[in-house]
Amino acid sequence: MNSFLDACRALIGAAHVLHQAADMAPFLRDWRGRFTGSALAVLRPGSVDEVAALVRACAAARVPIVPQGGNTGLVLGSVPDATGTAVVLSLARLNRVRSVDAVNRTMTVDAGCILQQVQEVAAAHGCLFPLSLAAEGSCTIGGNLSTNAGGTAVLRYGNARELCLGLEVVTPQGEVWPGLSALRKDNTGYDLRDLFIGAEGTLGIITGAVLKLYPQPKAAITALVALATPGHALRLLSLLQDRAGASLTGFELMSAFCLRLVAHHFPQLPRPFGQEYPQYALVELSSSESEPHAVALLEQAIGAALEQEVALDAVVAGSVAQSRGLWQLREHIPLAQAAAGKNIKHDISLPVSRIADFIASTAPLLQQAFPGCQLVCFGHLGDGNLHFNVAPPAGIGDEAFLVNQEAVNRVVHDSVARHGGSISAEHGIGALKRDELARYKHPVALQLMRAIKAALDPHNLMNPGKIL
Amino acid sequence: MNSFLDACRALIGAAHVLHQAADMAPFLRDWRGRFTGSALAVLRPGSVDEVAALVRACAAARVPIVPQGGNTGLVLGSVPDATGTAVVLSLARLNRVRSVDAVNRTMTVDAGCILQQVQEVAAAHGCLFPLSLAAEGSCTIGGNLSTNAGGTAVLRYGNARELCLGLEVVTPQGEVWPGLSALRKDNTGYDLRDLFIGAEGTLGIITGAVLKLYPQPKAAITALVALATPGHALRLLSLLQDRAGASLTGFELMSAFCLRLVAHHFPQLPRPFGQEYPQYALVELSSSESEPHAVALLEQAIGAALEQEVALDAVVAGSVAQSRGLWQLREHIPLAQAAAGKNIKHDISLPVSRIADFIASTAPLLQQAFPGCQLVCFGHLGDGNLHFNVAPPAGIGDEAFLVNQEAVNRVVHDSVARHGGSISAEHGIGALKRDELARYKHPVALQLMRAIKAALDPHNLMNPGKIL
């Protein structure tokens, strides 16, 4: 192995081949701090050619590679296992915005660019890069693409997949596919781009991408709407889609329990209503015309929802600034959860039309199996994506409850499967959900995936043990 | 072979195994009538299980399969070659709309449903299925997905790929992958859906799909805008995107020569301007609010374009009905071309920002090589997609000019490659552009495609000779 590491040093410089435990530590520990793996070394190439050369060296020596971006994933997809046989290949030094084309509304970036950097450069060119998620200050665009990240703007703009036109990829053989197409229509053979997107680094290493940009809306205005049930939230969603079309840019569901958690842990935040309601929707309309247009459109729609008794009560922000305040309620749910202690998380999706049924039928099953457990149910209702987290009953400690993780997953994921849903909406599979995938994915799909993996990476060197 | 055909008859009934020349003829001739292939038989299964059983029978007998929908393709993708060794497997009898979910805004359909039928069922449920193209009365949704069809609504809604959430596919081994997910977020492994979409039947047979529906806009209003150059069209596009965002649902470029052809062959159509201008854009804005809102928004934007001297002149339709009239000018270009005689067609795409450069640099190269040739340049500018067709010089017969096809392709496609474009924007590759693909696609991409093909279809039985 010394000769292998020497070869790596010769390729990218000794300073970029980390092998001391202290230097490697941040690359080996997962974002939630629940697992720490082991590695031969952490490699930090500075160019696409260096990535390709390292992959060839790894292929020759049969050393497995764990590609890593910002290492903010939640499913152990970007950290190595405990065997210490793999290298971590960090894309962090590939962090240039290569070009921006404001007329084509595209930008070409290195995989290691931080998401927030991408958003800011787009904005400086008068454009919007809509991908937005909690880790945006740390995660990289390469990681976003490798996991097909979701976030808060999917309803209008789609997942990371829909925001990418072209990719540059280093194959498991260490060849470079320069697929940096900036085209909106291109039907020249198989969709290699979308095969690498969401493959979590198991088929090759994304080193660059062409991203789609959008015109900046003139204003985004939110309302907080009080609702009797999740079913009413579905009716509100349909009403807003019919009246606002693509101007509806956000629709988040939050249960009373979620806002109670936020109020308890963040008492400084606004409490828009004088009383508690069973459910809330945070909705956002964007206008390409003006702030008053957005406010008027939203007020009319919410007025209709109140009149038709779809909504119980509502607060419409009068300005973009007030809208930010309402978003904070939603954004503080994960923080309030963390302050309250650990819980068992699920990142699930369902057909939007089945969400109310899913919640109504799954909550009692959980109560039956784990009496007193507390459901922290919120998420991107417009995309069918719920964060359906289960916290311990009052008075039970986190650790005592977490031993139920497997059993809780079974109740939730079996119900997801019955409702035509997915066990991973936006976090991916990684190592954490690999067994769950094997349980719930159709055998023909698994067989197709294995055939593709074997064809492109016959020695199973690219992020082994993830997904499959 | 008799025992193979007997096996097919036993599986789907003798009436659905066509083998007389007259019965097979429409399945063997391509849409443009330029090629007629040969086949062992035409198989017309009536269910997914029958498709799977036939594929297993073909696999056992090593009989190649050419899947076929409406057979409206333009690149010889859905007809067999001349050897007579393959069967055509028609999906036409799989033509049920399985279900519509207006709340989830999805519909689940058999692959053999006619596109127009899909549009109409969506409309009957108050929804829009936006895919729209000239062949919509004959083409099937399975064919649309297998070729990742484009059309006139791509600017706002994307290609067929973006309009599909889930697929049901029969694999080359005759197994059924029931991937009819109706989810907007699902990160559970490789993107098999998008691998089959656009694969032109070379990796398996799409038998069913879950399609995305959208709210029906309240009104779509068009304007015809006269412009000095394609560069001004790009400025107009940016201006409209900034002012209208997702409300901009169409942006078509047409040269003066195109509208002159239409005026000559269809004198009954409107001629909105008293004089001729070098270029025209047909633009469409849709409003989720009202017809007056759409008209006002478009009038303001066009007013700004005239004031900023982006546009030379413009006619804004005052109603949805007037808008239909303007669309007819665009829709009659292909018909006027056909009436004028044959030409050499190109279905190319470019980064939007490079279109003006492409036209300005390619037209003189064509004139140099083929003096007097006439360029019929129109297309979906908003998507970067041009139909860049080359007609004979005045006085030269079609057939005499068509011998130049290879040389004309070389001039156009070499220029496309220099401008970062694609030789197939929306028609696909089929058998017609297979050699062009081998010439222009990057070798690493071709190698990845071949590896995937060999992994999924090791005996090369699925639509052999297409794409690769």
Residues B382 and B422 in one domain: yes
- CATH number, domain of A192, equals 3.30.465.10
CB nearest B451 (choices: A185, A423, A456): A456
Six-digit token pair at B205? 């047979």
One-letter amino acid at A271 equals R
Which of A145, A147, A188, A213 should we substitute to test contact with B (largest number of B Cβ atoms within 10 Å)?
Answer: A188
- CATH number, domain of A85, equals 3.30.43.10
| Angle subtended by helix axes B230-244 and B355-369, to nearest 10 | 160
pLDDT band at A217 (very low <50, low <70, confident <90, very high): very high
Residues B182 and B142 in one domain: yes
What pLDDT digit, counting tens, does each position of A232-261 carry? 999 999 999 999 999 999 999 999 999 999
Is A62 part of any domain?
yes
- CATH number, domain of A407, equals 3.30.70.2740
Quote the mean pLDDT of chain A. 96
pLDDT band at A148 (very low <50, low <70, confident <90, very high): very high
Pair type for strands A347-349 and A248-255: unpaired
B435-451 exposure pattern, b = at least 16 Cβ within 10 A, e = fewer: ebbeebbeebbebbbeb
* pLDDT for A320 beyond 90: no
Q: Which residues pair with B222 in a beta bridge?
A: B284
What pLDDT digit, counting tens, does each position of B407-438 carry? 999 999 999 999 999 999 999 999 999 999 99
CB of A95 within 8 A of CB of A112? yes
Is A454 part of any domain?
no
CB nearest B150 (choices: A185, A289, A420): A185
One-letter amino acid at B94 equals L
Residues A239 and A262 in one domain: yes
**How high is the pLDDT of residue A120?**
98
* pLDDT for B248 beyond 90: yes
- In the listed set B184, B215, B246, which residue is the last one of a domain according to the structure? B215
**How high is the pLDDT of residue B82?**
97
Q: What is the mean pLDDT of residues A372-384?
A: 94
Is A433 part of any domain?
no
Residues B318 and B230 in one domain: yes
CB atoms near residue B52 (< 10 Å): 20
Quote the mean pLDDT of chain B. 96
Which of B133, B146, B190 should we substitute to test contact with A (largest number of A Cβ atoms within 10 Å)?
Answer: B190
pLDDT band at B291 (very low <50, low <70, confident <90, very high): very high
Q: What is the mean pLDDT of residues A112-139?
A: 97
Is A407 part of any domain?
yes
Residues B320 and B346 in one domain: no
Instruction: Specify the residue for token string 């790009």.
Output: B234
Residues A105 and A153 in one domain: yes
Does A244 sit within 8 Å of B189, measured CB to CB? Answer: no
**How high is the pLDDT of residue A50?**
98
CB of A433 within 8 A of CB of A75? yes
pLDDT band at B152 (very low <50, low <70, confident <90, very high): confident
CB nearest A185 (choices: B154, B354, B446): B154
- What is the predicted ipTM? 0.97
Q: What is the mean pLDDT of residues A5-28?
A: 97
Extract the runs of DSSP E, i.e. beta strands, from A216-317: 219-227, 248-255, 279-287, 313-316
Nearest CA in chain B to A144: B187
**How high is the pLDDT of residue A1?**
73
Does B421 sit within 8 Å of A351, measured CB to CB? Answer: no
Residues B322 and B359 in one domain: no
The total number of structural domains that make up chain A: 4
Q: Is A203 on the interface with B (CB under 8 A)?
A: yes
Six-digit token pair at A191? 């969709």
- CATH number, domain of A239, equals 3.30.70.2190
| B100/B108 Cα distance (integer angstroms) | 6
Is B444 part of any domain?
no
Is A169 part of any domain?
yes
**How high is the pLDDT of residue A184?**
97
Pair type for strands A87-90 and A164-170: unpaired
* pLDDT for B1 beyond 80: no
What pLDDT digit, counting tens, does each position of A31-76 carry? 989 899 999 999 999 999 999 999 999 999 999 999 999 999 999 9
Lowest-pLDDT choice from A89-103, B104-118, B175-189, B326-340: B326-340
Residues B83 and B26 in one domain: yes
* pLDDT for A318 beyond 80: yes
What pLDDT digit, counting tens, does each position of A256-311 carry? 999 999 999 999 998 999 999 999 999 999 999 999 999 999 999 999 999 999 99
Q: Is B172 on the interface with A (CB under 8 A)?
A: no
Residues B84 and B102 in one domain: no
Residues B8 and B22 in one domain: yes
- In the listed set A391, A407, A427, which residue is the last one of a domain according to the structure? A427
Is B446 part of any domain?
no
* pLDDT for A421 beyond 90: yes
Does A214 sit within 8 Å of B353, measured CB to CB? Answer: no
pTM: 0.97
Contacts of A213 by beta carbon, 8 Å cutoff, 6+ apart: A100, A102, A105, A106, A107, A122, A125, A127, A128, A129
Is B374 part of any domain?
yes
Domain range for A414 is 341-427
Six-digit token pair at A165? 């036109």
Lowest-pLDDT choice from A16-25, A427-436, B338-347: B338-347
- In chain B, pLDDT over 70 holds for what percent of residues? 100
Q: What is the mean pLDDT of residues A449-458?
A: 98
Which of A184, A293, A439 should we substitute to test contact with B (largest number of B Cβ atoms within 10 Å)?
Answer: A184
Contacts of A442 by beta carbon, 8 Å cutoff, 6+ apart: B177, B178, B179
Q: Put the strands of the sheet holding A279-287 in their side by side order.
A: A313-316, A219-227, A279-287, A248-255, A374-380, A385-391, A347-349
Residues B83 and B102 in one domain: no
Interface of B with A in 352-391 (CB under 8 A): 352-354, 380, 383-385
Closest to B467 (Cα-Cα) out of B148, B85, B131: B148
Q: What is the mean pLDDT of residues A177-199?
A: 98
Residues B71 and B163 in one domain: no
- In the listed set A281, A302, A334, which residue is the last one of a domain according to the structure? A334
